Structure 1
């Protein structure tokens, strides 16, 4: 398995996990500023290509300087991918992208990509979650963890 780091996304994500633990840290563990990160977007599957458009959002109460969103697929990605700036392949079925700064009650950078699949599939399950949260505490994980089923119809499915 190859690992690639783009703009420090993967390195920052690992450092964040090691330094701050996961979002479900035990009571009394280090807690950074509180934020409420969420993701909204669309996904469409046509032939062997999965198109994803995603907008990270922060409802506060504090700003988030940067975070990393993880996109996991139920099928293998093609070997070669053209990923947007700030995104990196993190495995056979994973891509991670930095969100950029998310001000209080504001959006991060809009992320759009077309992922090639290793082979055509009748459906793909896309899992979206926060891989690294920039050191913020997020008590509402329900709005930043999504599971979306996309059928090979070209139709867009919203989350």
Structure 2
């Protein structure tokens, strides 16, 4: 079965009055992990400085359906597709969904790749974004095992 990867950014439209933002984001990660298990997707999410950046990977039909749902989700504003392309292998095979949560690394990633603005990175830069997200996750996993929602287990 062919494998695809989708990368997008959106403005966060969560209500801080409902519950703390971190709790709302963790709830999104948990519910995404359940849906991704059903749909054979894996991925990672960054939530920083009012922006979501998410990488999803799996079968094309499941990615398209999931992205359509994200575009209709009122917790997102100004959803922008950065890339949808074939992938040779999963960058996040260990996680159904995980949050990249090292604030220093996330801020560096966002500023280096211009993800806070409306610009669209080229293919080389999107590959670097995915690689950096994975690097942060793997180094954090070494420090705190059991984080996230693994694919197997």
* TM-score, normalised relative to structure 2: 0.30
Please say which structure displays the higher CA radius of gyration.
1
| Superposition TM-score, scaled by structure 1 size | 0.29
Q: Greater share of strand residues, 1 or 2?
A: 1
